[in-house]
Structure 1
Amino acid sequence: MDRNSPDRGGERRERRPPRPLDARRLDDLALSYVARFATSAGKLSDYLRRKLRERGWEGEGEADIAGIVARFVELGYIDDAMYARGKAQGLLRRGYGARRIDQALGAAGIAEPLREDARGSEVERRRAALVMARKRRFGPFGTGERLDPATREKQVAAMLRAGHPLAHARAVVNALSQEALEEWTDEAGD
Structure 2
Amino acid sequence: MINQNSVTPQKIKTEKKPRKITESYLHNAGLYYLERFAASSAHFKKIMLRKIDRSCAFHKDQVREECIQTLDRLVIKFQNVGLLDDSVFTQNMVLSLRRKGLSARMIHARLQAKGLEYEMIDRILQAYTQTLESEFHEDAELIAALRLARRKKIGPYALEKTHDHSNKALAILARAGFSYDIACKALQFDRDMADALNESVCR
TM-score (norm 1): 0.78
Q: State the superposition RMSD in angstroms.
A: 2.9
Displacement of 1:117 in angstroms is 2.5
Segment of structure 1 superposing worse, 161-170 or 87-96: 161-170
- Aligned position for 1:125: 141
| Residue of structure 1 equivalent to 2:33 | 33
| Unpaired stretches in structure 1, ≥5 consecutive residues | 1-5, 186-190
2:177 is aligned with 1:177: no
1:139 aligns with 2:139: no
**Alpha-carbon distance change, 66 to 167 in structure 1, aligned in 2, over 3 angstroms:** farther
- 1:82 maps to a residue whose letter is V
Q: Larger helix proportion, structure 1 or 2?
A: 2
Counting only pairs closer than 5 Å after superposition, residues 44-55 of structure 1 correspond to structure 2 as 44-55=44-55
CA distance in 1, matches of 2:25, 2:197: 54
Q: Offset of 1:79 from its aligned partner?
A: 0.8
1:62 counterpart residue number: 66
Residue 3 of structure 1 is matched in structure 2 by: none
Structure 1 residue 142 displacement after superposition: 2.0
Instruction: Pick the aligned partner of 2:179 from 153, 158, 165.
Output: 165
Match of 1:100 among 96, 106, 119: 106
Opposite residue 100 of structure 2, the aligned amino acid is R
Say which SS state the counterpart of residue 66 (structure 2) adopts.
Answer: coil
Q: CA deviation at 1:179?
A: 6.1
Q: 1:168 to 1:20 in 2, by over 3 A?
A: same
Percent identity of the aligned residues? 23
**Secondary structure of the structure 2 residue equivalent to 1:31:** helix
Match of 1:73 among 67, 72, 79: 79
Q: Structure 1 residue 8: deviation in Å?
A: 1.7
SS of 2:12's equivalent in the other structure is: coil
Q: Distance in 1 between matches of 2:156 and 2:13?
A: 60
Amino acid in structure 1 at the alignment position of 2:91: R
Unaligned runs of 5+ residues in structure 2 are 1-5, 134-138, 199-203
